[in-house]
Structure 1
Amino acid sequence: MTAPTRRPGPPMGGPPAARMMMAGGAPTEKLQDFKGSTKRLLGLLAPQRLAVGLVLLSGIAGVALSVYGPRLLGHATDIIFAGVIGKSVPAGVTKEQAVEQLRSQGENTRADLLSAVDFTPGQGIDFTALAHLLGWVAAVYVFAWIFGVIQGRITARVVQVAVYRLRQDVEVKLSRLPLSYFDKQPRGEVLSRATNDTDNIAQTLQQTFAQIVTSLLMIVGVLGMMFWISWLLALIALVTVPVSIWLTTVIGKRSQPNFVAQWSITGKLNGHIEEMFTGHSLVKVFGRQGEAQQTFAEHNEKLYASSFRAQFISGLIQPAMMFLSNLNYVLVAVVGGLRVASGSLSLGEVQAFIQYSRQFSQPLTQVASMANLVQSGVASAERVFALLDAPEQSAEPAPAGLDRVQGRITFEDVSFRYLPDKPLIDGLSLEVAPGQTVAIVGPTGAGKTTLVNLLMRFYEVDSGRITLDGVDIASVPRPELREHMGMVLQDTWLFGGTIAENIAYGADEFSLDAVRQAAEAAHVDAFVRMLPDGYDTVIDEEGSNVSAGQKQLITIARAFLAEPSILILDEATSSVDTRTEVLIQRAMTTLRSGRTSFVIAHRLSTIRDADVILVMEHGSIVEQGSHSSLLAAGGAYARLYSAQFAAAVAEVD
């Protein structure tokens, strides 16, 4: 059974060219719910609470050690400074005597400085104590690095597992979405949400989750050490914090809409590229390369503009924070120097405090600079969540146990419409006996393909019901229902793989002999044997190395191998020549034997031997009967038949 193609659905607001021209707007688009989307994004990590807890614990341990390091270095500076001072003071004089002597000489500032230093007159630097202390410093930073490595490894696993599950959710969601969703969404837009946006979420979480945690812990730890050393200097260091928060908020609000626009336009650009690449032959045939390039250029220009604005505006945060950090450093250095001169603080304490002021400014700058990543990630998350929240097709009922299907199909007063105000099928009733071949003809838009789409449950009926062997198909799970159906479409679909694999796509179990038999029945074997690799010939996704008619034959062979109970042929011979069509019709007669079959055809020569021919117009059956009886009636079918050169059909016979 081949994959279903995208069928006509609700209009999308004008012809394709007009839709593409309108698709690049709304550069001022805003996030619908930044806080809610952020909370939901973090909720992706909830199933890994233990691992997240380990990230926090390792972050706390690493930060605690990193914060304690400057304090130890400050003590090392005090040891060196005390040794220098002690060696300059004669031995035998006490510290108090040396300070008093300086005061008596009027050198009060120097006396205040020495009073805060713990030195021994006549004794130089205690290298043993210094080496011991530096050993502790080295151990502290080594263990801080180890905890950082542990945190990074766990974070990478947590993030990748979360995104892995998100991709699974997206894949499952795509399989549950009704066909009408894809009718309304460009394929490139859907692909962009499933690939580009999920990758951006992974990058955002990887680069910000652990870093934000570490930065916040660093801010708290450093702030505590700063107040421990000097509450006055700590208050001075905090002067720039409100300004930093205000700047980050103001700049962030201005950059948010541009990040949303960036990812929205990215999806539209991907949709345009996918559409133009898929139909590149038609674009060239109708000379629309210039228009396609112009549309691409417009999308590309808007993407460039929104991306530039987003990155530039959010990029202003880091230099602004660096300016405030430097201003903070100057204030702390000046006031700290005065405190050392007055003897209120030791030189090592001021040195440690200056390091802490740098450590305090650095995480603030990091958190602020990550605002652009966070906003970009949340914008992508909102797009993915919108996909995950899209209405799904109705839930699958319990298995109906359709083991053996006879093929009796009944349409009972069925009505359906794509748009609420535009009926397509209204009150249609039809009964098909097991093994009958039902041909459906009529002008384009009459509802022929829609009829079989309702039978396959690609769409649900608005009213009435369809039964299979007396069982309402709405009470049958879609996979169970479709197990008994085979479908060959006008638009062929092949995947990247060998010819044998493509033929065997619809069969659970198969052998190479069965594949060859199906290929012979569909007249595929003849041209396959002429290929260098035979059935092992690899077909690319576009099937560009086989002709359109050969692709059609391969899909027909696929239906032969699947051996469905109900066969649906939607213009299945539209891409083959007249001679091959005659051969396929004979094969189709064999294939349809004992199976209920629906054949949609525009070439009436292909359905002359159908048991019942339905003529549809505007969603209703206006005529039904055999080929001869409908010709004798001289109605709609006779008019269609006479327009297709009945003499040519007789010549083929």
Structure 2
Amino acid sequence: MNATTQTPHKTSSLKKVMRFAKTYRSRFIWVIVFSIALSLFAAARPYLLKQTVDLYLIKKDHTGLLYYIGLMGGMLILEVAAQFYFVYWANWLGQDIVKDIRERLFAHISNFRMKFFDNEAVGRLVTRTVFDIESISKIFSQGLFMIISDMLKMLVILIVMFVMNWKLTLVVLLAMPLLVIATRIFQKKMKGAFEEVRTQVANLNTFVQERVTGMKIVQLFNRENIEYEKFKVINKKHNDAWQKNILYNSIFFPIADIISSLTLGFVIWYAGISILNLDPITEPGDMFAYLMFVPMLFNPLRQIADKFNEMQMGIVASDRVFELLDMQGNTQKNGATAAWHFKGELNFENVRFSYLENEEVIKGINLKIESGQTIAIVGSTGAGKSTIINLLNRFYEIDSGRITIDGTDIDHFTLDTLRRQIAIVLQDVFLFADTILNNITLNDPTITREKVVQASQAIGVHDFIMSLPGGYDYNVKERGVMLSSGQRQLIAFLRAYVSNPSILILDEATSSIDTYSEELIRNATDAITKDRTSIIIAHRLATIVNADTIIVMDKGKIVESGTHYELINRDAGYYKNLYYSQFAVETEE
């Protein structure tokens, strides 16, 4: 059935991120407490400096001067401690929230239908799961809490400044609207720049991931220069996106510095004139205090723009992450019944399926497989052979009809228990960059090394594994590149065997392998198909002559069925023509 992707946007991404912070409420509160403490300490130091100048420095009171210097030193130590805990806890909180979101996203993606992965670039998913989620941590470590802390600091400083000298404070406030306007313009420009950067990062990751994975094809067909030129174009777009970011930063921060410096100079001039004119409101200590106050007021305002950028980058990244998390139409439907060991009776009842709407691949299949029976499915490329296997494992949802195992619709089973009872050996075996043992057990703690060794001896692959350096602890590297295709197939057979499935599927598992590996695989096939329902999808018809039933498919339909000898003796039969044409080709070779 064609699923419609649903991506609701009723709740902002920032609110969704904050929901993950509820788990860490106490830590969140402590970050706010330290933020308040920082604002109080920041405002206290200039005030203490004013008191030191007016009460003790001008009056040459050495005892009072030393006392206040010690007081300022103690205040500085407390501010440093508060700063440490504020930064540490804010980053700690951000990383824990990122961890939770990443786990939720990975679990969510793991439950997507295969149709989603057919249409989505792997590089983009990697960008969402790794880079975008890491950017979300900046909402807390570099964005939200820093902005809250700076705003509190500015508010407390303004209050203290008004209490100390309202005239000088008004002079300072005259310049602030210019900085606020510049900050606002900068923020809007940076939002668009960050969105473009994230888009180009995803495109770059996708391109590199695909070309590195398919490097053998690139080199075999002499595509190095062509792919290099493509990479240069994508890399240039990525560079251009960052250049906008750099340009806006290069314009804004000098302007902010000029405004701050001019304001500071004007304050010094105004305070100096007031002191010389013996203005009763302005004291010498005010000038020293405001030399500290103005940078403390303007720097946070200037940095807020930069921190808004960090938070904006996190929010843009969270938009992309939650776009995936909000996709409900792509998730697989789960049943409620646990699937225990099957007898293995399969029944396809008028099953229809299409990958694309109105383009049926399976056209009303009816097929019954008895418990313990071995059947083979043959046909030309695109006949729908592998699609039947995908439907049985519920990688895709059928358009109509139903598939049952032991009389129960497979939709009623939970996905994990259903797939635990079905083992598949594919033609293109995927191995992880890990040991042979871990590739066989897939880190299932219930499958011990002893069980693996016994299973490998039972199907005749133990000697092959022990011939490798390190035996079962041999690392096959990424995608199993250290092994031949036949050796990878043997590992896949053993992986299927140790899982003790009720139903076994061999999908083109004996094609494109050497003679030695073929003999081992034939023996392994006999061992693992014994006494269990087995489906063999075969390209080489000589490998399935002993199947209980052979199903012949063409263009999504079953056109023939029977034993090898029944089909080979059928006049003008599809299987007969297919068999003899393949036999003739193999004879010529």
Separation in structure 2 between the aligned mates of residue 323 and residue 164 of structure 1, nearest angstrom: 41
Q: Deviations over 1:502-529 (max 9, x none)?
A: 2333865344443234334544333323
Separation in structure 2 between the aligned mates of residue 338 and residue 33 of structure 1, nearest angstrom: 57
Separation in structure 1 between the aligned mates of residue 141 and residue 10 of structure 2, nearest angstrom: 19
Separation in structure 1 between the aligned mates of residue 136 and residue 274 of structure 2, nearest angstrom: 48
* Alignment of 1:641 onto 2:576: no
**SS state at 1:412 partner:** strand
Say if 1:468 and 1:285 are closer, same or farther in 2 by CA, change over 3 A: same
Separation in structure 2 between the aligned mates of residue 511 and residue 251 of structure 1, nearest angstrom: 60
Q: Deviations over 1:74-111 (max 9, x none)?
A: 1111135542xxxxxxxxxxxxxxxxxxxxxxxxxxxx
Say if 1:229 and 1:512 are closer, same or farther in 2 by CA, change over 3 A: closer
Aligned residue type for 1:44: F
* Alignment of 1:396 onto 2:334: yes
* Alignment of 1:443 onto 2:380: yes
* Alignment of 1:291 onto 2:267: no
Pick which of 319-328 and 584-593 moved more.
Answer: 584-593
TM superposition shift of 1:272: 1.5
Note the residue ranges of structure 1 that are not aligned, 5 or more in a row. 1-8, 11-31, 84-124
Task: Find the counterpart in structure 2 of residue 36 from structure 1.
Answer: 12
| Contact preservation (8 Å) 1:247, 1:317 | yes
| Contact preservation (8 Å) 2:376, 2:536 | yes
TM superposition shift of 1:162: 0.8
Say if 1:66 and 1:413 are closer, same or farther in 2 by CA, change over 3 A: same
* Alignment of 1:163 onto 2:98: yes
Separation in structure 1 between the aligned mates of residue 314 and residue 91 of structure 2, nearest angstrom: 16
Separation in structure 2 between the aligned mates of residue 608 and residue 622 of structure 1, nearest angstrom: 18
Aligned residue type for 1:37: S
Say if 1:46 and 1:327 are closer, same or farther in 2 by CA, change over 3 A: farther
Pick which of 630-639 and 59-68 moved more.
Answer: 630-639
Q: Deviations over 1:53-74 (max 9, x none)?
A: 1111111112102201111111
TM-score, normalised with respect to structure 1 = 0.84
Aligned residue type for 2:404: T
Separation in structure 1 between the aligned mates of residue 127 and residue 564 of structure 2, nearest angstrom: 49
Separation in structure 1 between the aligned mates of residue 192 and residue 49 of structure 2, nearest angstrom: 46
Q: Deviations over 1:548-600 (max 9, x none)?
A: 21111111121222221100111111232245324422431232121111111
Separation in structure 1 between the aligned mates of residue 211 and residue 17 of structure 2, nearest angstrom: 34
Candidates 278, 281, 286, aligned match of 1:349: 286
Separation in structure 1 between the aligned mates of residue 321 and residue 269 of structure 2, nearest angstrom: 51
Separation in structure 2 between the aligned mates of residue 43 and residue 210 of structure 1, nearest angstrom: 16
Task: Find the counterpart in structure 2 of residue 226 from structure 1.
Answer: 161
Say if 1:141 and 1:506 are closer, same or farther in 2 by CA, change over 3 A: closer
TM superposition shift of 1:361: 0.6
Aligned residue type for 1:643: S
TM superposition shift of 1:150: 2.0
Mapping for residues 114-263 of structure 1, pairs under 5 Å: 125-263=60-198
Aligned residue type for 1:157: W
Q: Deviations over 1:578-632 (max 9, x none)?
A: 4532442243123212111111111111111111211222222122222122222
**SS state at 2:505 partner:** strand
* Alignment of 1:365 onto 2:291: no
Aligned residue type for 2:119: K
| Contact preservation (8 Å) 1:519, 1:554 | no
Task: Find the counterpart in structure 1 of residue 55 from structure 2.
Answer: 79
* Alignment of 1:318 onto 2:318: no
Say if 1:586 and 1:55 are closer, same or farther in 2 by CA, change over 3 A: closer
| Contact preservation (8 Å) 1:615, 1:623 | yes
Separation in structure 1 between the aligned mates of residue 450 and residue 55 of structure 2, nearest angstrom: 88
Mapping for residues 538-577 of structure 1, pairs under 5 Å: 538-577=475-514
Separation in structure 2 between the aligned mates of residue 341 and residue 506 of structure 1, nearest angstrom: 81
**SS state at 2:368 partner:** strand
TM superposition shift of 1:314: 3.7
Pick which of 504-513 and 580-589 moved more.
Answer: 504-513
Aligned residue type for 2:32: L
Aligned residue type for 2:206: G
Say if 1:587 and 1:75 are closer, same or farther in 2 by CA, change over 3 A: closer
Note the residue ranges of structure 2 that are not aligned, 5 or more in a row. none
**SS state at 2:582 partner:** coil
TM superposition shift of 1:212: 1.5
**SS state at 1:177 partner:** coil
Say if 1:577 and 1:283 are closer, same or farther in 2 by CA, change over 3 A: same
Aligned residue type for 1:131: L
Separation in structure 1 between the aligned mates of residue 525 and residue 260 of structure 2, nearest angstrom: 80
Separation in structure 2 between the aligned mates of residue 507 and residue 350 of structure 1, nearest angstrom: 71
Q: Deviations over 1:183-232 (max 9, x none)?
A: 11111211111111122222453223332222111110111111112223
TM superposition shift of 1:292: 1.6
Say if 1:218 and 1:607 are closer, same or farther in 2 by CA, change over 3 A: same
RMSD: 2.4
Separation in structure 2 between the aligned mates of residue 532 and residue 468 of structure 1, nearest angstrom: 42
| Contact preservation (8 Å) 2:552, 2:561 | yes
Aligned residue type for 2:44: Y
Separation in structure 2 between the aligned mates of residue 161 and residue 335 of structure 1, nearest angstrom: 50
Number of residues of Structure 1 aligned to a counterpart in Structure 2: 580
Pick which of 425-434 and 519-528 moved more.
Answer: 519-528
**SS state at 1:423 partner:** strand
Say if 1:387 and 1:313 are closer, same or farther in 2 by CA, change over 3 A: same
Task: Find the counterpart in structure 2 of residue 607 from structure 1.
Answer: 544
Say if 1:153 and 1:254 are closer, same or farther in 2 by CA, change over 3 A: closer
Say if 1:378 and 1:443 are closer, same or farther in 2 by CA, change over 3 A: same
| Contact preservation (8 Å) 1:518, 1:558 | no
Candidates 468, 475, 492, aligned match of 2:429: 492
Say if 1:265 and 1:639 are closer, same or farther in 2 by CA, change over 3 A: farther
Q: Deviations over 1:250-303 (max 9, x none)?
A: 222222222112122212211221211111111111111112212211111111
Task: Find the counterpart in structure 1 of residue 564 from structure 2.
Answer: 627
| Contact preservation (8 Å) 1:70, 1:356 | yes
Candidates 329, 338, 352, aligned match of 1:415: 352
* Alignment of 1:518 onto 2:451: no
**SS state at 1:539 partner:** coil
TM superposition shift of 1:34: 13
Task: Find the counterpart in structure 2 of residue 5 from structure 1.
Answer: none
Separation in structure 2 between the aligned mates of residue 37 and residue 315 of structure 1, nearest angstrom: 29
Task: Find the counterpart in structure 2 of residue 98 from structure 1.
Answer: none
Mapping for residues 5-20 of structure 1, pairs under 5 Å: none
Aligned residue type for 2:207: H
Say if 1:128 and 1:508 are closer, same or farther in 2 by CA, change over 3 A: closer
Task: Find the counterpart in structure 2 of residue 91 from structure 1.
Answer: none
